[in-house]
Structure 1
Amino acid sequence: MSKEEFFVDMTCEGCSGAVNRVLSRLEGVQYEIDLPNKKVVIQSENHTADQLLETLKKTGKEARHLCTK
Structure 2
Amino acid sequence: MTTHEFFVDMTCEGCSGAVTRVLNKLDVKFDIDLPNKKVFIESDKNTDVLLETLKKTGKTVTYIGTK
Give the shorter-chain TM-score range.
Answer: over 0.9
SS in 2 for 1:23: helix
- What is the TM-score normalised by the length of structure 2? 0.96
Q: Matched residues in 2 for 1:30 and 1:66: separation?
A: 17
**Which residue of 1 is the match for residue 41 of structure 2?**
42
- What is the TM-score normalised by the length of structure 1? 0.93
RMSD over aligned CA atoms reads 0.7
Q: Please give the residue correspondences for 1:1-12 in structure 2 after superposition, counting only pairs within 5 Å.
A: 1-12=1-12
Gaps of 5+ in 2: none
Residue identity (%): 66
User: In the alignment, residue 21 of structure 1 is paired with which amino acid?
Assistant: R
Cα offset, 1:48, TM superposition: 1.1
Cα offset, 1:52, TM superposition: 0.2
Gaps of 5+ in 1: none
Question: How many residues end up aligned between the 2 structures?
Answer: 67
Q: Which runs of 4+ in 1 moved over 3 A?
A: none
Q: Matched residues in 2 for 1:10 and 1:18: separation?
A: 9
